[in-house]
């Protein structure tokens, strides 16, 4: 069963970055140290903090997040509602919500490919 795209699930995925979420000064510092408007730094942030969360989801939930991003990126959605009243540890304001979501989508797709590749590794019996 395919799940209907919902913007609210994106907010829950990004809860990792909310000031309401952490009591870990090291993670807070790491988040604040990254420029969320720089593609490389944002990708590093997603790889360290979003990837483990995303990989903990069931296959259907992972696909739901990807499908939601694809759906809304194919519309004129600006994603303001995802970030409305969403206080984060980011030092910078996100200047382009759509670009942020495009980078998130690319990362989620890459994580999904990594999972698929690891599941396809040939079986090597131990001797």
**What does the DSSP 8-state code read for residue 24?**
-
| Cα dist from 86 to 6, 18, 25, 89, 94, whole Å | 17, 7, 19, 10, 12
The domain limits of the chain are 8-117
Q: pLDDT tens, 47-84?
A: 999 999 999 999 999 999 999 999 999 999 999 999 88
pLDDT, one tens digit per residue, over 108-121 is 999 999 988 887 76
Model pTM?
0.89
Compute the C-alpha angle 92/96/99, nearest 5°: 115
């Amino acid at each position: 069963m395919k799940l209907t795209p919902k913007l609210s699930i994106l907010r829950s995925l990004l809860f990792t970055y909310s000031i309401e979420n952490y009591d870990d000064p090291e993670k807070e510092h790491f988040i604040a140290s990254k420029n969320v408007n720089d593609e490389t730094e944002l990708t590093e942030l997603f790889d360290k903090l979003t990837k483990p969360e995303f990989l903990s989801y069931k296959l259907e939930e992972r696909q739901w997040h990807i499908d939601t991003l694809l759906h809304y990126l194919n519309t004129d959605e600006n994603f303001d509602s995802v970030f409305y009243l969403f206080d984060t540890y980011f030092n910078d304001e996100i200047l382009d919500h759509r670009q942020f979501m495009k980078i998130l989508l690319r990362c989620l797709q890459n994580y999904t490919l990594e999972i698929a590749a690891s599941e396809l590794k040939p079986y090597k019996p131990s001797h």
